[in-house]
């Protein structure tokens, strides 16, 4: 098979791994279209990466996976030399700033890991490649291979994929939980002990919607993983129905809104000082889809509001819907120059459309707004269900 065709298959195949900030976006350049994704370096820069599989040829039969062994479709691979030359060429032309290299399990976990390791070794040692490298850790691969890989890669991810041991057993019966968690432990230990090992940490991916776990179970697992492995990120990937329908029936479309809500919840407990129970109350199993989790908390805890913008602490500001990390910091700074009023807040990045129900400035509320959760709620829900002014003469059948 021609190199261009292999490249097309292996960049398309890599889209199913969500372990980067944007997956599968395409950047057209003179040289054709590339699979480009983005990631954050350890110093907070966003970098664009060539996202590619070393191979889509797999000995495993994970039932949710497009590369599973019993699925028809072309199988192909790139050699370590081909991966490195592609990466270096695209890097020199300024198409990319690094490489995101993943792989199916061709031959055995060790063989797959060795081939990827050979690619990054050539890149770093022969080409002195200075770009960012994200490398997949293959579950079940030898620790000695993971260790060598961790000195060449900036970040590695061992994907958990299924959020419970029962689902792993049902949908990926050839993988054992230990094949996944032992490498994660190993990478974390080395990251703490060895200088220059995975400077941008490790991440993992959870597939959403292929198995029956609730949002409560998923968030609880995520919170445990952040604590236990100091993960840089968890990526939530809405299940794309390319798996075996005999095992995963009834999924017509990827649950993208659910994925989005889980990302929002994840940010709340990582950066906004919300607890697990704040995000998803004990009586609830799933996040509301029509309301974001921060707005949901604010409406359930209306006793906390209104917050006086001129006196609130940084943490109190972060609880207000429409106030983010940056706008909260800007408010604190701007208050040192003088007392703030509502007209100042938009310029500081506050989304007033949301925040206006929950704040006061100089002891005053914005007049004319509803003041109770039930009446505020419709203004914060998804656009489709947001109340609209009815026209006097609605078209037949409604709007």
Is residue 306 reached through a cis peptide bond, with omega within 30 degrees of 0 on the bond before it? yes
Distance CA 277, CA 275 (A): 5
- By the rule CB under 6 A, 294 interacts with ligand SF4: no
Residue from 14, 49, 83, 104 binding ligand SF4 (CB under 6 A): 104
Residue from 36, 58, 149, 334 binding ligand SF4 (CB under 6 A): 58
CB of 180 to ligand SF4, least distance (A): 11
Task: Residue 39: count other Cβ atoms within 10 Å of its Cβ.
Answer: 26
- By the rule CB under 6 A, 235 interacts with ligand SF4: no
Smaller CB distance to ligand SF4: residue 177 or 349?
A: 177
Looking from the CA of 257 toward its CB, the CA atoms found within 13 Å total 11
Binding window for ligand SF4 (CB under 6 A); candidates: 3-11, 44-52, 60-68, 127-135: 60-68
Angle, helices 256-271 vs 215-229, to 10°: value is 40
Residue from 62, 262, 280, 380 binding ligand SF4 (CB under 6 A): 62
Smaller CB distance to ligand SF4: residue 68 or 216?
A: 68
Looking from the CA of 314 toward its CB, the CA atoms found within 13 Å total 10
Which residues, numbered 144-203, are part of the site for ligand SF4 (CB under 6 A)?
A: 172
Smaller CB distance to ligand SF4: residue 56 or 327?
A: 56
- By the rule CB under 6 A, 330 interacts with ligand SF4: no
Binding window for ligand SF4 (CB under 6 A); candidates: 58-66, 209-217, 232-240, 343-351: 58-66
The candidate with the shortest Cα–Cα distance to 316, out of 354, 274, 284, 352, is: 274
The candidate with the shortest Cα–Cα distance to 205, out of 19, 53, 65, is: 19
What are the CA-CA distances from residue 9 to residues 2, 67, 88, 96, 150 (Å)? 11, 11, 20, 19, 27
Distance CA 320, CA 345 (A): 13
- By the rule CB under 6 A, 67 interacts with ligand SF4: yes
Binding window for ligand SF4 (CB under 6 A); candidates: 54-62, 87-95, 181-189, 251-259: 54-62
CB of 342 to ligand SF4, least distance (A): 51
Using CB under 6 A, count the residues that bind ligand SF4. 9
Smaller CB distance to ligand SF4: residue 139 or 306?
A: 139
The candidate with the shortest Cα–Cα distance to 114, out of 126, 101, 128, is: 101
Binding window for ligand SF4 (CB under 6 A); candidates: 31-39, 63-71, 249-257, 318-326: 63-71
Alpha helices in the chain (DSSP H): 3-14, 80-92, 109-121, 143-152, 165-171, 177-193, 215-229, 256-271, 276-279, 293-300, 314-318, 325-335, 342-345, 352-355, 373-380
Binding window for ligand SF4 (CB under 6 A); candidates: 26-34, 61-69, 244-252, 269-277: 61-69
CB of 1 to ligand SF4, least distance (A): 19
Smaller CB distance to ligand SF4: residue 104 or 149?
A: 104
Q: In what order do the strands lie in the sheet with 132-136?
A: 22-29, 32-40, 46-53, 98-102, 132-136, 155-157, 202-208, 233-238
Residue from 65, 184, 187, 279 binding ligand SF4 (CB under 6 A): 65
Residue from 18, 36, 54, 60 binding ligand SF4 (CB under 6 A): 60
Binding window for ligand SF4 (CB under 6 A); candidates: 64-72, 118-126, 263-271, 328-336: 64-72
- By the rule CB under 6 A, 68 interacts with ligand SF4: yes
Distance CA 294, CA 268 (A): 7
CB of 226 to ligand SF4, least distance (A): 23
- By the rule CB under 6 A, 105 interacts with ligand SF4: yes
Distance CA 249, CA 29 (A): 39
Terminus-to-terminus CA distance in the chain, angstroms?
53
Task: Residue 281: count other Cβ atoms within 10 Å of its Cβ.
Answer: 11
CB of 204 to ligand SF4, least distance (A): 13
Binding window for ligand SF4 (CB under 6 A); candidates: 57-65, 240-248, 311-319, 346-354: 57-65
Enumerate binding residues for ligand SF4 (CB under 6 A). 58, 60, 62, 65, 67-68, 104-105, 172
């Amino acid at each position: 098979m021609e190199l261009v065709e292999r490249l097309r298959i292996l960049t398309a195949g890599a889209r199913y791994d969500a372990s980067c900030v944007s997956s599968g976006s395409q950047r057209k350049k003179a040289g054709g279209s590339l699979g480009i994704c983005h990631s954050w370096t350890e110093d907070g820069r966003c970098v664009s990466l060539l996202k590619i599989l070393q191979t889509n040829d797999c000995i495993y039969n994970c039932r949710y996976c497009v590369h599973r062994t019993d699925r028809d479709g072309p199988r192909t691979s790139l050699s370590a030399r081909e991966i490195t030359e592609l990466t270096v060429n695209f890097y020199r032309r300024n198409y990319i700033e690094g490489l995101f290299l993943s792989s199916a399990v061709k031959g055995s976990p060790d063989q797959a890991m060795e081939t990827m390791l050979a690619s990054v070794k050539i890149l770093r040692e022969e080409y002195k490649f200075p770009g960012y490298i994200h490398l997949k850790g293959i579950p079940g691969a030898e620790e000695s291979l993971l260790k060598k890989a961790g000195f060449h890669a900036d970040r590695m991810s061992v994907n958990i994929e299924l959020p419970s041991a029962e689902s792993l057993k049902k949908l990926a019966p050839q993988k054992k939980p230990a094949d996944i968690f032992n490498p994660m432990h190993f990478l974390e230990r080395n990251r703490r002990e060895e200088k220059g090992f995975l400077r941008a940490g490790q991440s993992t991916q959870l597939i959403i919607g292929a198995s029956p776990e609730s949002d409560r179970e998923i968030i609880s697992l995520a919170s445990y993983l952040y604590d236990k492995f100091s993960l840089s990120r968890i990526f939530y990937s809405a299940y794309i129905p390319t798996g075996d329908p005999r095992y995963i029936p009834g999924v017509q479309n990827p649950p993208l809104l659910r994925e989005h809500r889980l990302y929002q919840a994840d940010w709340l407990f990582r950066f906004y000082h919300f607890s697990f129970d704040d995000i998803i109350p004990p009586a609830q199993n799933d996040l509301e889809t029509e309301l974001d989790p921060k707005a949901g908390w604010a409406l359930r805890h209306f006793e906390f509001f209104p917050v006086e913008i001129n006196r609130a602490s940084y943490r109190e500001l972060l609880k207000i819907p429409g106030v983010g990390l940056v706008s909260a910091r800007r408010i604190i700074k701007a208050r040192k120059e003088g007392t703030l009023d509502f007209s100042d807040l938009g310029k500081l990045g506050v989304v007033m459309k949301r925040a206006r129900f929950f704040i006061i400035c100089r002891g005053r509320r914005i007049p004319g707004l509803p003041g109770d959760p039930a009446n505020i709620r419709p203004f914060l829900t998804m656009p489709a269900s947001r109340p609209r002014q009815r026209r006097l003469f609605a078209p037949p059948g409604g709007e």
